């Protein structure tokens, strides 16, 4: 069944919405949990977080902690002096401190959307709070007057900026464009990270293929395997850095003073500005720290249960990088001619080969952070209907955000190996990587600023301080890397353009299809009129008729009744609906309503983008029929009626189930005639190509093939 890009507000509901008065956070009502947690439970939770934190070394921090391998070689210095190196180290120190510690570890991780992180999670969070976007952010709302008053109060309390987005189509489209660009850049990052980490082309390509083949076992297993490698790397490189500092330049930490940055740009001018395209690589992988939240959790990345007011990043990855870069810089100050191989040359000869082996393995493992992040953003895009449906496998029974997509995995593998073999020297890949890193950071800054204003209601002074510091800092980085467009910087734009064209083509086709369905929907009055035709018979059986819209019925229904001259004894018009929340609780998932006609019911199955479609076959049917029986009985309790009528409804349902179950879905295509404009003549056929080659959503529900019927219909564009 095709999922609609959005749905109109529901007219009935059984899910309430609560507002957190502190954050103005509208969320699905959750069961209250008693505060009776025992010390033993807390201990288990702490050790559990420690175990997951250990696993994050093999995934989340891989790209960031291995950046010393390629930062200095990516900078093209001409006769560098001691002052130049001190200025470069000062730039890297403050970049890691401000962007790594302050922005990502301290701010961005607190902007998760119920456990999901990344650019698209920020976008969905904003859409849900502003009630905008392609998808309708509200669940099927409760009949309760209390819930309605809460929603109305939330609307009244929206900020001016939220109201502006609600009114302005241009602003909403710009927000969508920014989110799409950020998503495409993260996927491009996932392609380039393995390539830039490569040391020996043929060997790296072979090891990467093995790495991609391991993805099917899930992030938890892969990370547990890789964490010893990254743990060794994280511990050993700063020790080598300390040795280098003591031996070559003990005064290196005087470069922490920002005045070295000003002197660096004063001396080098334009050349110093261009070198920022290399220094920005010191913060690579920081976006993965945020985007990989769904595979782990905030506590495991921050280790907040252990270090209450600080986070694990500050005590592990951050000092490792600061000391490693300090050691590299100290060595290069005394040996400026070794700049192009600045990492391996600063390793003492006595431990060179052990470090070489660890660094080779770490460089390959570093790819895992962006591979996992790519799976996450693709999954979010698919379930929010911004991307063609691909197979998404949940590889963990207790972590819904841990996902794997076979199609995406093998496409990434082919692209990564191709980039390594084509751009093997690393210089063009480094330039491309700088473009991706800086643009994703800038987009995250813009979205986080909107979150601060619209959701957190942060004081304007703090918002202005945050935006000015990070937008200016990252804007300078972006301006520097844009000069590298002709020297490899075009690679991520080519990748992003292709991905964005796919995303927009899918979105446009879904939007046009929904517009047609809303314009030609079958109302209940029209359905009653169709069923009153003497030639239309009610045949035995239970039919699940899938519809894309809630406020009315799909036009395929009219097409079906006119041609088949029948409707089943019990028919449930079923809408599979994704909400702009990560998860919907099981007791809130299935919403049943009576449509006022005998044996005809409405059913909405609600899912968040972090939920798994785990209803399978008979279990799917039994859950829906059990919910229908409960609805009939509950309705009779709330609105007393003839008991015989209730018994008759349940008896009819049981008889229909005995007669057989059928699932009917539409298979629609656009008819693009001569009257269509040139844009439709390009985009709608492209959408049909995507649609015909993507996966159907119905098999994801485990519906057996013999019980499925597809009804074809042409939609006139």
Give 339-377 pLDDT, tens digit per residue.
888 788 889 999 999 998 888 888 877 777 778 878 888
pLDDT score of 446: 96
- Give the total residue count for the chain: 717
Show the tokens assigned to 354. Answer: 């052990």
pLDDT-derived band at 121 (thresholds 50, 70, 90) equals: confident
Instruction: Report the pLDDT value the prediction gives residue 675, as an integer from 0 to 100.
Output: 87
pLDDT in tens, 510-541: 889 888 988 999 998 999 999 999 999 999 99
User: Looking at the predicted structure, is the pLDDT value of residue 139 above 50?
Assistant: no
* Confidence at residue 417, expressed as pLDDT on a 0 to 100 scale: 84
Burial class (CB in 10 A: 0-12, 13-18, 19+), 463: middle
- Going from N- to C-terminal start, the domains of the chain cover 62-135+164-507, 521-716
Q: Looking at the domain covering 62-135+164-507, what would its CATH class be?
A: mainly alpha
Mean pLDDT of all residues in 642-648:
80
pTM check: above 0.85: no
Query: Beta-carbon neighbour count of residue 37 at 10 Å?
Result: 10
Q: What is the pLDDT of residue 303?
A: 44
- 17-62 tens-digit pLDDT: 222 323 333 333 333 333 344 444 444 455 555 555 556 665 667 7
Q: What is the mean pLDDT of residues 67-77?
A: 86
Q: For 401, phi and psi rounded to 5 degrees?
A: -75, -10
Quote the CA–CA distance of 260 and 264 in Å, as a whole number: 6
pLDDT in tens, 226-246: 788 888 999 999 999 999 999
Contact 135, 459 (CB under 8 A): no
Percent of the chain at pLDDT exceeding 70 = 79
Mean pLDDT is lowest, of 345-354, 394-403, 457-466, for 394-403
* Strongest mean pLDDT among 33-47, 590-604, 625-639: 590-604
Among 557, 490, 476, 494, smallest CA distance to 520 is for 557
Rounded CA-CA distance 553/547 in Å is 6
E strand or H helix at 602, and its extent? strand 600-607
pLDDT at site 222: 80
What tokens were used for 17?
Answer: 């919405």
The CA distance from 289 to 64, in Å, is: 9
Cβ partners under 8 Å of residue 374, min gap 6: 186, 187, 189, 190, 408, 412
The CA distance from 273 to 256, in Å, is 19
| Model confidence band, residue 472 (pLDDT cutoffs 50, 70, 90) | very high
- Asked if 434 contacts 219 with a C-beta cutoff of 8 angstroms, the reply is no
Residue pair 655/569 in contact (Cβ under 8 Å)? The answer is yes
- pLDDT interval class at 637 (50, 70, 90): low
Q: What is residue 394's three-state secondary structure?
A: strand
Helix, strand, coil percentages for the chain (3-state, nearest 5): 65, 10, 25
Tokens of 160: 């001016």
Residues 6+ apart with CB under 8 A from 328: 68, 72, 241, 244, 342, 343, 346
Residues forming a β-bridge with 635 = none
Mean pLDDT computed over 144-173? 65
């Amino acid at each position: 069944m095709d999922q609609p890009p959005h749905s109109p507000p529901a007219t009935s509901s059984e899910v309430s919405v609560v507002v957190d008065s502190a954050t103005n956070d509208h969320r699905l009502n959750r069961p209250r949990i008693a505060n009776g947690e025992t010390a033993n439970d807390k201990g288990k939770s702490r050790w559990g977080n420690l175990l997951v934190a250990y696993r994050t070394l093999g995934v989340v921090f891989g790209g960031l902690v291995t950046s010393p391998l390629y930062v200095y070689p990516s900078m093209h210095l001409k006769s560098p002096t001691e002052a130049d190196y001190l200025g470069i180290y000062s730039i890297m120190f403050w970049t890691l401190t401000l962007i790594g510690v302050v922005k990502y570890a301290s701010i961005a991780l607190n902007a998760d959307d119920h456990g999901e992180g990344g650019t698209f999670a920020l976008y969905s969070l904003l859409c849900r709070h502003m009630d905008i976007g392609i998808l309708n952010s509200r669940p099927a709302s409760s009949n309760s007057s209390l819930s309605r008053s809460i929603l109305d109060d939330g609307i009244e309390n929206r900020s001016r900026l939220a109201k502006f987005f609600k009114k302005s189509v241009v602003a909403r489209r710009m927000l969508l464009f920014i989110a799409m660009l950020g998503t495409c850049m993260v996927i491009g990052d996932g392609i380039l990270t393995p390539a830039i980490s490569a040391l020996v082309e043929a060997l790296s390509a072979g090891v990467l293929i093995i790495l991609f083949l391991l993805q099917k076992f899930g992030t938890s297993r892969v990370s547990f395997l890789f964490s010893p490698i990254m743990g060794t790397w994280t511990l050993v490189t700063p020790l080598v850095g300390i040795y280098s500092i003591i031996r070559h330049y003990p005064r290196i930490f005087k470069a922490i003073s920002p005045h070295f940055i000003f002197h660096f740009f004063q001396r080098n001018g334009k050349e110093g500005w261009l070198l920022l395209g290399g220094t920005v690589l010191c913060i690579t992988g920081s976006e993965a720290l945020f985007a990989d939240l769904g595979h782990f959790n905030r506590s495991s990345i921050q280790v907040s249960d252990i270090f209450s007011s600080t986070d694990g990043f500050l005590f592990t990855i951050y000092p490792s990088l600061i000391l490693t870069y300090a050691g590299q810089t100290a060595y290069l100050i005394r040996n400026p001619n070794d700049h192009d191989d600045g990492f391996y040359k600063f390793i003492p000869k006595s431990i060179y080969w052990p470090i070489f082996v660890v660094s080779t393995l770490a460089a390959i493992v570093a790819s895992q952070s962006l591979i996992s992040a790519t799976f996450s953003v693709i999954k979010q895009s698919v379930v929010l209907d911004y991307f063609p449906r691909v197979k998404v496998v949940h590889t963990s029974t207790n972590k819904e955000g841990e996902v794997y997509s076979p199609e995406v995995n093998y496409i990434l593998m082919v692209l990564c190996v191709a980039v390594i073999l084509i751009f093997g020297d690393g210089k063009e890949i480094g330039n491309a990587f700088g473009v991706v890193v800086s643009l994703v950071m800038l987009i995250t800054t813009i979205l986080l600023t909107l979150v601060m204003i619209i959701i957190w209601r942060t004081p304007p002074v703090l918002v202005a301080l945050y935006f000015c510091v990070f937008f200016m800092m990252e804007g300078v980085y972006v301006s520097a890397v844009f000069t590298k467009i002709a020297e490899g910087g075009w690679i991520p734009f080519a990748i992003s353009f292709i991905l964005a064209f796919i995303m927009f083509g899918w979105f446009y086709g879904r939007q046009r299809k929904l517009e047609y369905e809303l314009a030609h929907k079958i109302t209940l009055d029209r359905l009653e009129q169709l069923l009153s035709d003497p030639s239309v018979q009610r045949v035995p059986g239970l039919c699940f008729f899938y519809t894309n819209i809630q406020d009315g019925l799909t036009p395929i229904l009219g097409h079906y009744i006119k041609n088949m001259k029948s409707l089943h004894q019990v028919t449930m018009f079923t809408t599979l609906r994704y909400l702009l929340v990560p998860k919907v609780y099981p007791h809130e998932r299935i919403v049943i309503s009576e449509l006022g006609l005998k044996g005809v019911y409405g059913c909405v199955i609600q899912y968040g983008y972090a939920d798994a479609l785990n209803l399978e076959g008979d279990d799917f049917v039994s859950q829906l029929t059990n919910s229908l029986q409960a609805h009939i009985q509950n309705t009779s309790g709330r609105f007393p009626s003839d008991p015989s009528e209730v018994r008759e409804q349940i008896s009819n349902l049981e008889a229909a189930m005995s007669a057989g179950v059928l699932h009917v879905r539409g298979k629609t295509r656009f008819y693009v005639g001569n009257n269509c404009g040139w844009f439709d003549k390009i985009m709608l056929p492209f959408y049909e190509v995507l649609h015909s080659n993507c996966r159907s959503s119905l098999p994801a529900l485990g519906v057996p093939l013999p019980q499925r019927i597809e009804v074809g219909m042409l939609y006139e564009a």
